[in-house]
Each structure stands twice: as C-alpha cells, then as structure tokens.
Structure 1
C-alpha cells in the first residue's frame, strides 16, 4: 500500500506542472515566430496559431 500524498507533495507537483506549461508556451511562441518569419518551411497560419496559443498559455497559466 502507498501512503496518500502530503499537501506539500501536491503543491510541488502543481508548481512543476505550471512551470512546465509556461516553458511550453515559450517554445510555442518561438516556433510560431520562426514559422511566421519564414525560417521554417511551414504554413504561415500554423505559425500564427502557435504564436497565439503560446502567448495565451504563457500569460494565462
């Protein structure tokens, strides 16, 4: 049997997940900027979508 997680463990897990989401938001923004500036050969619409999702993810989370 495993013991139930302590409130401190739950807080650490939530903190880790929130920071991971923020980092992924920054990655989306950078990829979006690279696509929009034609550094990556993807459709420009994908770049704008990644940029918008990344900004929303970073600032909302």
Structure 2
C-alpha cells in the first residue's frame, strides 16, 4: 500500500467518523426532545438536531473539497 493510499484511507475514515458523529448528535437531540417535559429542553433538542443535520450535510463536503487533489 502506497503512502497516497494510506492518506486516502485515513481521510475516508475521517469522513465516516464525522458523519457518524452527526448521526449520534441527531439521535441525542431526538432523545432529548422525546423525554423533555418543559419547553426549554425541547428547544435545545431541536437546536441540537438541526445543527447535527447541518454537520452531516456540510462538514464532510467541505473536508472533501479541502482535500481534493490538485488537477495535473
């Protein structure tokens, strides 16, 4: 395995971990919304879910754009 392959594998792993962290955050927010009795925790849970969904959509794409190899 070449060094370029190792770097590509590490970057792919980072992208997967970022997506899984976003999913875990969204699940945490949903649990908070479901178990909350007052409005404040429900609003916090909603904010967590929305930010996790944004993280799932934006962060992997921006990392892939940053890591894109230059055109030869």
Q: What TM-score, normalized by structure 1, do the two folds share? A: 0.74
Q: State the distance in 1 between where 2:9 and 2:32 align.
A: 35
In structure 2, runs of 5+ residues without a counterpart are: 61-72
Q: State the distance in 2 between where 1:44 and 1:29 align.
A: 13
Give the deviation of 1:55 after TM superposition.
Answer: 0.5
Structure with larger RCO (C-alpha < 8 A, sep 6+): 1
- The residue aligned with 2:50 is 52
More helix by share: 2
User: Which runs of 4 or more aligned residues in structure 1 lie more than 6 Å from their structure 2 counterparts after TM superposition?
Assistant: none
- The residue aligned with 1:27 is 24
- Root-mean-square deviation over aligned CA pairs: 2.2
In structure 1, runs of 5+ residues without a counterpart are: none
Q: State the distance in 2 between where 1:23 and 1:34 align.
A: 16
Instruction: State the aligned residue count.
Output: 56
